[in-house]
Amino acid sequence: MWPYWWPALAYLLGLFFLSLIAWQIFDATAGLLVVCAGLALKLLQHLFQLRRLAAWLADPSQPAPQALGIWGDVFYRLARMVHSHNAERARSQADLRQLLQATRLLPDGVVILDKQQRIVWFNQAAQDHLNLQDPRDLGQFIGYIVRNAAFNAWLNGPQDEAGFTMPAVTDAERTLTLRWVPLPPEQKMLLSHDITELARVDAMRRDFVANVSHELRTPVTVIVGFLEAFADMDEPDPEQFKRHIQLLHEQAERMRRLLDDLLTLARLESDTEMADEAIDVATLARSLVQEAEGLSGGRHRIVLELQSAAGIKGSPKEIHSAFSNLVSNAVRYTPPGGVITLRWRDNASGGAEFSVTDTGEGIEAQHIPRLTERFYRVDRGRSRATGGTGLGLAIVKHVLQRHQAHLRIESTVGKGSTFTAVFPAERIIPAASTRPPASVPAAA
Specify whether 53 is located in the same domain as 115: no
> Rounded to an integer, what distance in angstroms lies between the CA atom of residue 430 and that of residue 345?
12
- pLDDT of 422 > 90? The answer is yes
Answer whether residue 30 is part of any domain.
Answer: yes
- pLDDT of 436 > 70? The answer is no
Specify whether 145 is located in the same domain as 228: no
- pLDDT, residue 420, reads 95
- pLDDT, residue 99, reads 75
Specify whether 149 is located in the same domain as 251: no
- pLDDT, residue 1, reads 40
Please tell me which residue, 355 or 218, carries the higher pLDDT value.
355
Number of domains in the chain: 4
- pLDDT of 421 > 60? The answer is yes
* Three-class secondary structure of residue 121 per DSSP: strand
Q: Which of 85, 101, 117 is the last residue of a domain?
A: 101
What is the residue-averaged pLDDT of the chain? 82
* Three-class secondary structure of residue 133 per DSSP: coil
- pLDDT, residue 281, reads 93
- pLDDT, residue 389, reads 67
Q: CA–CA distance from 174 to each of 73, 103, 133 (Å)? A: 66, 22, 19
The pLDDT tens digits for 88-122 are 888 888 887 787 777 777 888 889 899 888 988 88
> Rounded to an integer, what distance in angstroms lies between the CA atom of residue 257 and that of residue 96?
60
> Rounded to an integer, what distance in angstroms lies between the CA atom of residue 147 and that of residue 170?
12
Nearest to 169 by CA among 141, 114, 127, 134: 127
- pLDDT, residue 270, reads 72
CB atoms within 10 A of CB 442: 17
- pLDDT of 442 > 50? The answer is no
For residue 312, give the amino acid letter: I
Specify whether 284 is located in the same domain as 359: yes
Specify whether 88 is located in the same domain as 20: yes
Q: What is the CATH number for 222? A: 1.10.287.130
Specify whether 290 is located in the same domain as 389: yes
- pLDDT, residue 196, reads 86
- pLDDT, residue 437, reads 42
Q: What are φ and ψ of residue 120, in 5° steps?
A: -100, -40
Specify whether 251 is located in the same domain as 396: no
Q: What are φ and ψ of residue 341, in 5° steps?
A: -115, 125
Q: Which of 270, 301, 321 is the last residue of a domain?
A: 270
Cα angle, residue 330 at apex, residues 328 and 334 outer, rounded to 5°: 125
Please tell me which residue, 276 or 420, carries the higher pLDDT value.
420
Beta bridge partners of 167: 175
Specify whether 179 is located in the same domain as 161: yes
> Rounded to an integer, what distance in angstroms lies between the CA atom of residue 337 and that of residue 299?
6
Specify whether 281 is located in the same domain as 305: yes
- pLDDT of 319 > 60? The answer is yes
The pLDDT tens digits for 364-394 are 988 888 888 877 767 655 445 555 667 888 8
- pLDDT, residue 356, reads 95
- pLDDT of 308 > 60? The answer is yes
Please tell me which residue, 99 or 363, carries the higher pLDDT value.
363
pLDDT above 90: percentage of residues in the chain: 20
- pLDDT, residue 387, reads 52
Specify whether 281 is located in the same domain as 401: yes
Do 352 and 307 meet the contact criterion of CB atoms below 8 Å apart?
Answer: no
pLDDT above 70: percentage of residues in the chain: 90
Answer whether residue 1 is part of any domain.
Answer: no
- pLDDT of 434 > 50? The answer is no
Q: What is the CATH number for 171? A: 3.30.450.20
- Mean pLDDT for 203-214 is 71
CA dihedral 393, 399, 402, 404 (to 10 degrees): -70
Q: Which positions ≥6 away from 130 have C-beta within 8 Å?
A: 109, 111, 122, 145, 146, 168, 169, 170, 192
> Rounded to an integer, what distance in angstroms lies between the CA atom of residue 161 and that of residue 179?
7
Least confident of 138-147, 153-162, 411-420: 153-162
Full 3-state SS string of 41-85? HHHHHHHHHHHHHHHHHHCCCCCCCCCCHHHHHHHHHHHHHHHHH
Specify whether 258 is located in the same domain as 385: no
For residue 189, give the amino acid letter: M
The domain of 166 spans 105-194
Q: Which of 194, 214, 240 is the last residue of a domain?
A: 194
Task: Please report which confidence band the pLDDT of residue 359 belongs to, taking 50, 70 and 90 as the band edges.
Answer: very high
Report which DSSP code applies to 368: G
Answer whether residue 134 is part of any domain.
Answer: yes
Specify whether 311 is located in the same domain as 396: yes
